[in-house]
Copies of this chain bind each other. A is one copy, B any other.
């Protein structure tokens, strides 16, 4: 009983050995992440089409819930770019931005995502998310990053650009209306970008060279977003740029902790949002679990995918009941948490408390925060998602994978984010089926006088004209049985002297019912043509199943050998029999 509780509440594991040093580490990491998360949370909320405070609300209770339940010690949960984009794309279909329906939709998405994730975790079906391949995820992320980046163009340039899921339309509109550019806004954006990029690439090095300790230098380097926010907010306030130059600002953010609220449950709305919520859950979970795994492996800790589903589910339910929107573990934020020294999920809980304090006392100071600064923060964050490396590596390694990456990328950009990833995932499955539907088959011969047998095309080997030994390099199942049959019959008819066909099953991991039927037919047909079929290297599980239906009893003169060496040795010594039936 206690073990079960411990499994589901990882806090009980790390809590027992918690000490002062861990607390110091976690506090530092929690503070740095909080400094990063205040502007990011607001920026992502705007990306999702929601008021800035919703991003802050989603950065409090969800973090606490994840901290109590999560199996990762360094994951930083909260609003993230891709999920925010998916929220915007989904809610754009059902309500106007800024309307009560839009807000209710965001809460509903968080609620549904939470329920789906929790359900998947309890049902222990975390393995399902593995059906998205890495190239599909890479193509999806790159395309989503482009869409997100261009969606911020209006904030950077300071004039309205109609929403469109086609970035070509966005660019075209921006170019044709470039005369409307707000120069003050553009300047603020440029300054913000310079600060962000400067802090990212230079500050740590410069500080270290002037004698600042490495830890402090790294911590300061991560405060780029905060510095950009402070500098540009002061500039707008001091010069009253919102009034005099029309710079758009965040303006009123309600003070105080997020209102606790039971989401209004509208069955029609729930049904309408369910597919999108499922996709948001899967994509969010994938992002989260992949970063959690890569961080855990650095410290030789373990991530339990099903426990992560439960923790993220709880985090999203937390978001739903505190006027938030869907959250997940973010890549860059978790990396910051990790490198800043987070040793337990307490760091996340500290972040949450600090953000709670910020929401209560800091919001009046953010009145003059320009939206252009938040847009710049988003652009810099998503630039990392554009993944040229995987594109290049996949191209060099495997054409089918490369195709599914490019197809996903193009589908997301042209068909939109939800349909795009579905098309990509479907295509990667079809390509996999296609790949296994034309199995590689090798005719093998004996290497010298050894017991080794290798492909006749790749090695200098000896063969017996009366024996055809074929190794089939694939499990036999419905999609490849027809090909198998055609290939084997063609090879047999090419070599009229053949009396024995030896099928080497070392790479056959299962034979499904369709393939079994084909194998039976093939054996029978070849018997009529005077060719006996033998099997070698049949794997244990395959053999067990064939035995269960007495397959080996119907092989006629054919035998099952332990190895190809045994088969060839015995068959070469045999006198060959005449065919039973004339051809």
Q: List residues of chain A with CB under 8 Å of any chain B CB.
A: 127, 130-136, 294, 297, 300, 305, 390, 393-394, 396-398, 400-402, 428-429, 432-433, 435-440, 442, 451-452, 455, 458, 473-475, 477-483, 506-510, 512-514, 516-517, 521, 525, 528-529, 539-541, 545, 548-549, 562-563, 583
Known: A300-B583, A506-B506. 4 other contacts (CB 8 A): A132-B478, A397-B548, A432-B479, A474-B509
Chain B residues with CB under 8 A of A541: 440, 473
Chain B residues with CB under 8 A of A455: 540
State in angstroms the CA–CA spacing of A513 and B389 once bound together: 13
Among candidates B479, B509, B513, residue contacting A440 with C-beta atoms closer than 8 Å:
B509
Among candidates B482, B512, B525, residue contacting A130 with C-beta atoms closer than 8 Å:
B482
- Give the top 7 A-B pairs by smallest Cβ distance, nearest first: A133-B478, A401-B513, A134-B514, A473-B509, A507-B507, A133-B514, A394-B513
- Across the two chains, which residue of chain B brings its CB closest to A581? B300
- Across the two chains, which residue of chain B brings its CB closest to A305? B482
* Most chain B beta carbons < 10 A, residue from A294, A429, A513, A545: A513
* Most chain B beta carbons < 10 A, residue from A134, A429, A480: A134
State in angstroms the CA–CA spacing of A60 and B517 once bound together: 35
Among candidates B132, B506, B513, B521, residue contacting A397 with C-beta atoms closer than 8 Å:
B513
Q: Does B133 lie within 8 Å of A512, measured CB to CB?
A: yes
Chain B residues with CB under 8 A of A438: 127
A-B contact pairs, 27 of them (CB 8 A): A131-B433, A131-B478, A132-B478, A133-B477, A133-B512, A133-B513, A134-B513, A135-B513, A136-B478, A393-B513, A394-B513, A396-B549, A397-B545, A397-B548, A397-B549, A398-B512, A398-B513, A398-B545, A428-B478, A432-B477, A440-B509, A440-B539, A440-B541, A451-B451, A473-B541, A506-B507, A507-B508
State in angstroms the CA–CA spacing of A71 and B1 once bound together: 68
Distance from A271 Cβ to chain B, minimum over Cβ atoms (Å) = 19
State in angstroms the CA–CA spacing of A396 and B547 once bound together: 11
State in angstroms the CA–CA spacing of A548 and B478 once bound together: 32
State in angstroms the CA–CA spacing of A516 and B507 once bound together: 19
Copies in the complex: 2
- Across the two chains, which residue of chain B brings its CB closest to A525? B297
Chain B residues with CB under 8 A of A390: 513
Among candidates B136, B475, B482, residue contacting A436 with C-beta atoms closer than 8 Å:
B475
Distance from A518 Cβ to chain B, minimum over Cβ atoms (Å) = 9
Distance from A451 Cβ to chain B, minimum over Cβ atoms (Å) = 6
- Across the two chains, which residue of chain B brings its CB closest to A133? B478
Q: Does B397 lie within 8 Å of A127, measured CB to CB?
A: no
Q: Does A130 lie within 8 Å of B549, measured CB to CB?
A: no
Chain B residues with CB under 8 A of A396: 548-549
Chain B residues with CB under 8 A of A474: 475, 509
State in angstroms the CA–CA spacing of A395 and B439 once bound together: 27
Among candidates B130, B442, B513, B528, residue contacting A480 with C-beta atoms closer than 8 Å:
B130
Are A517 and B583 also in contact (CB < 8 A) when A440-B509, A512-B400, A549-B396 are? no
Chain B residues with CB under 8 A of A506: 506-507
- Across the two chains, which residue of chain B brings its CB closest to A543? B458
State in angstroms the CA–CA spacing of A398 and B516 once bound together: 10
State in angstroms the CA–CA spacing of A312 and B540 once bound together: 43
Q: Does B507 lie within 8 Å of A509, measured CB to CB?
A: yes
Q: Does A510 lie within 8 Å of B435, measured CB to CB?
A: yes
- Across the two chains, which residue of chain B brings its CB closest to A447? B562
State in angstroms the CA–CA spacing of A563 and B513 once bound together: 32
- Across the two chains, which residue of chain B brings its CB closest to A481? B130
Chain B residues with CB under 8 A of A440: 509, 539, 541
- Across the two chains, which residue of chain B brings its CB closest to A562? B452
Chain B residues with CB under 8 A of A549: 393, 396-397
State in angstroms the CA–CA spacing of A438 and B475 once bound together: 14
- Across the two chains, which residue of chain B brings its CB closest to A450? B451
Are A458 and B540 also in contact (CB < 8 A) when A393-B549, A452-B563, A513-B398 are? yes
State in angstroms the CA–CA spacing of A76 and B306 once bound together: 55
State in angstroms the CA–CA spacing of A474 and B482 once bound together: 21
Chain B residues with CB under 8 A of A433: 131, 429, 432
Are A442 and B540 also in contact (CB < 8 A) when A398-B513, A513-B401, A549-B397 are? yes
Distance from A505 Cβ to chain B, minimum over Cβ atoms (Å) = 10
- Across the two chains, which residue of chain B brings its CB closest to A302? B489
State in angstroms the CA–CA spacing of A384 and B472 once bound together: 35
- Across the two chains, which residue of chain B brings its CB closest to A440? B541
Among candidates B131, B437, B509, residue contacting A479 with C-beta atoms closer than 8 Å:
B131
Are A134 and B398 also in contact (CB < 8 A) when A429-B429, A506-B507, A525-B297 are? no
Distance from A476 Cβ to chain B, minimum over Cβ atoms (Å) = 12
Q: Does B548 lie within 8 Å of A127, measured CB to CB?
A: no
Q: Does B297 lie within 8 Å of A521, measured CB to CB?
A: yes
State in angstroms the CA–CA spacing of A378 and B400 once bound together: 47
State in angstroms the CA–CA spacing of A350 and B394 once bound together: 57
Distance from A214 Cβ to chain B, minimum over Cβ atoms (Å) = 21
Chain B residues with CB under 8 A of A475: 436, 474
Chain B residues with CB under 8 A of A451: 451
State in angstroms the CA–CA spacing of A58 and B561 once bound together: 53
Distance from A510 Cβ to chain B, minimum over Cβ atoms (Å) = 7
Among candidates B398, B482, B513, B583, residue contacting A127 with C-beta atoms closer than 8 Å:
B482
Chain B residues with CB under 8 A of A130: 437, 478-483
